[in-house]
Chain A
Amino acid sequence: KNQVEQSPQSLIILEGKNCTLQCNYTVSPFSNLRWYKQDTGRGPVSLTIMTFSENTKSNGRYTATLDADTKQSSLHITASQLSDSASYICVVVPLGGGSYIPTFGRGTSLIVHP
């Protein structure tokens, strides 16, 4: 079964600090890997999309990395802000089969304290 595992489950940091969220997956082969941000009570919003041939992708203070050999991805948040408090979800889209149905991790809940 294709799985996406994220760690840590939750994380609390002080405003201005950096943090790194981890994602391990077993989906193979895969088309692309995405990171989403989901604010409480809202729908997920796309942060980054990487194909299997990409190693890194940045979006402002968010930088995602991908190691397709070890099937690991990380999301690094620089100089955190209070508005970064949210759930960050790793999503892997499989290749082939025609459905391209994304598999979602359970997310890492990030709380940024002032």
Chain B
Amino acid sequence: GAGVSQSPSNKVTEKGKDVELRCDPISGHTALYWYRQSLGQGLEFLIYFQGNSAPDKSGLPSDRFSAERTGGSVSTLTIQRTQQEDSAVYLCASRDTFPGNTIYFGEGSWLTVV
């Protein structure tokens, strides 16, 4: 596709349920990021994938959070046993190989845990 695509765009889930958020990066982009943005807050780094290298998971807030990137393309962020504090916008971004190039963001997945 032309841009980074995320789904679902909106998700309301009950506390304790698991959710999966999907990201389709720009075709050919080797780098993929997940960020979280709470209302009125800055972007919080979650996880970074670069090619076939081991992902940088240093930003994941707890072991309830995990992410995969299959075939170097699509990525799924999974949140297990959701809590109300998980409510936020989850933004995915991708970039081609060169670190100095533009990072393109998707429109985000708005998660509300009730």
Interface residues of A, Cβ cutoff 8 Å to B: 31-32, 34, 36, 42-46, 49, 51, 89, 93, 98-107
Contact = CB atoms under 8 A, between A and B. Distances in A.
A106 B42 contact: yes
A51 B99 CA distance: 11
Given A43-B91, A89-B43, A102 B103 contact: yes
Nearest to B104: A46
A49 B106 contact: no
Contacts of B93: 43
B38 to A, nearest CB: 11
Interface of B: 4, 31, 33, 35, 41-43, 45, 48, 50, 53, 56, 59, 91, 93, 99-108
B99 A44 contact: no
A49 B107 contact: no
A46 to B, nearest CB: 5
Contacts of A49: 100-102
A105 B55 CA distance: 23
Nearest to B59: A101
B45 to A, nearest CB: 6
A108 to B, nearest CB: 11
Contact of A101 (B42, B56, B100, B104): B56
B99 A31 contact: yes
A43 B43 contact: no
Nearest to A99: B56
A68 B41 CA distance: 26
A43 B107 contact: yes
A100 B108 contact: no
A101 B99 contact: no
Nearest to A42: B107
A104 B103 contact: no
Nearest to B100: A32
A104 B91 contact: no
Contacts of A31: 99-100
Contacts of B91: 43-44
A99 B101 CA distance: 14
Contacts of A106: 41-42
